[in-house]
């Protein structure tokens, strides 16, 4: 698919899906990818911008997750958020150290330059901070564009290379003008047209599934959760009766969940669904097991064994 998109490099932030949702609400498609994606795999024609997410680690710690440094030389605009800003600073020659005091919660943001990332944002506004490290020295070519009481460099930019960083989280509702800031980056800096919609995504995805499946049948493990449910409906729209779904009732579900899944997918969506009652098998295998990790492995092994033995 040749649609324009924004890439989000995932460094483990709890807010990644909020970043993605904020971008999609601007009618621009985005995709969350692993942080170690090679710059050589990034299509300069379709990728309009890159966002480096936040994360729980410190960029100077041993084993800290980094990105391909060549990403900053692709000519594609990059926005670093929290950990992403610190990673950008360190990679390009700046320094990152522990903050004098951890900053968590609402903080007053003072904008010192509102020509690009903060266009339309007042000088003083509320932002949401969540960090124990901060940028102490900016890389060559960068300038400060915002600060807070505890963070002298709350945002910076190299406008010539179209590289930006913010220490706070514009994707959360607590940041007063966060949506405007992301719009400035996506629509302004990245010049994304904003002609994507969920309807067009559904149409394209169904066509892609149809082309991939050809005349073959497809078997789908259906849990009743969001991911597998959406996949089931899209595949069914694409190939109809050639989709067979298998739902395993492992006895660990919420009350009436198995019945609801059966009714929704068999009666409402008219999907070929086989329900397997395996509660006794799962519960017997879990009897006396206390450790959560051991439980997870036992459940996984039984699911795999059941999938191999089930005939649809």
Question: What residues are labeled active site?
Answer: 82, 169, 171
Asked if residues 162 and 154 have their Cβ atoms less than 8 Å apart, the reply is no
Tell me the two tokens of residue 6.
């924004």
Residues in the chain: 312
Helix 198-213 and helix 226-239, axial crossing angle in degrees, nearest 10 = 60
DSSP string across the chain:
----EEEEE-SS-TTHHHHHHHHHTTT-EEEEE-TT--GGGS-TTTEEEEEE---SS-TTSTT-----GGGGGSS--EEEETHHHHHHHHHTT-EEEEEEEEEEEEEEEEES--SSTTTT--SEEEEEEEEEEEEEEPPTT-EEEEE-SS-S-SEEEETTTTEEEESS-TTSTTSTTHHHHHHIIIIIIS-------HHHHHHHHHHHHHHHHTT--EEEE--SSHHHHHHHHHHHHHHGGGEEEEEEE-S-SPTTHHHHHHIIIIIIS--EEEEEE-HHHHHHHHTT---HHHHHHHHHHHHHHHHHH---
Tell me the two tokens of residue 110.
């003072």
């Amino acid at each position: 698919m040749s649609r324009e998109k924004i890439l989000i490099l995932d460094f483990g932030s709890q807010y990644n899906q909020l970043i993605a949702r904020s971008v999609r609400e601007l009618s621009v498609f985005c995709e969350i990818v692993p942080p170690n994606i090679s710059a050589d795999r990034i299509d300069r024609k379709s990728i309009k911008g890159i966002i480096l997410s936040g994360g729980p680690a410190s960029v100077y710690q041993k084993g800290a997750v980094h990105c391909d440094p060549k990403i900053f030389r692709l000519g594609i605009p990059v926005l670093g958020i929290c950990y992403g800003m610190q990673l950008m600073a360190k990679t390009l020659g700046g320094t990152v150290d522990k903050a004098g005091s951890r900053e968590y919660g609402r903080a007053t943001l003072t904008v010192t330059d509102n020509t690009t990332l903060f266009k339309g944002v007042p000088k003083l506004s509320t932002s949401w901070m969540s960090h124990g490290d901060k940028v102490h020295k900016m890389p060559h070519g960068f300038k400060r564009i915002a600060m807070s009481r505890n963070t002298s460099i709350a945002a910076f930019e190299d406008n010539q290379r179209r590289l930006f960083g913010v220490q706070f989280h514009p994707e959360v509702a607590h940041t007063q003008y966060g949506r405007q800031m992301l719009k400035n980056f996506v629509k302004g800096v990245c010049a994304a047209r904003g002609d994507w919609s969920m309807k067009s995504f559904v149409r394209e995805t169904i066509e892609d599934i149809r082309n991939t499946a050809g005349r073959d049948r497809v078997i789908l493990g259906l849990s009743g959760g969001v991911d597998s449910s959406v996949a089931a409906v899209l595949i069914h729209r694409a190939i109809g009766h050639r989709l067979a779904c298998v739902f395993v009732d492992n006895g660990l579900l919420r009350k009436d969940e198995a019945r609801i899944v059966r009714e929704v997918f068999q009666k409402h969506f008219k999907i070929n669904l086989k329900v397997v009652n395996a509660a006794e098998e799962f519960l017997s295998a879990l009897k006396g097991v206390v450790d959560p990790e051991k439980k997870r492995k036992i459940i996984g092994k039984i699911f795999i064994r059941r999938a191999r033995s089930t005939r649809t």
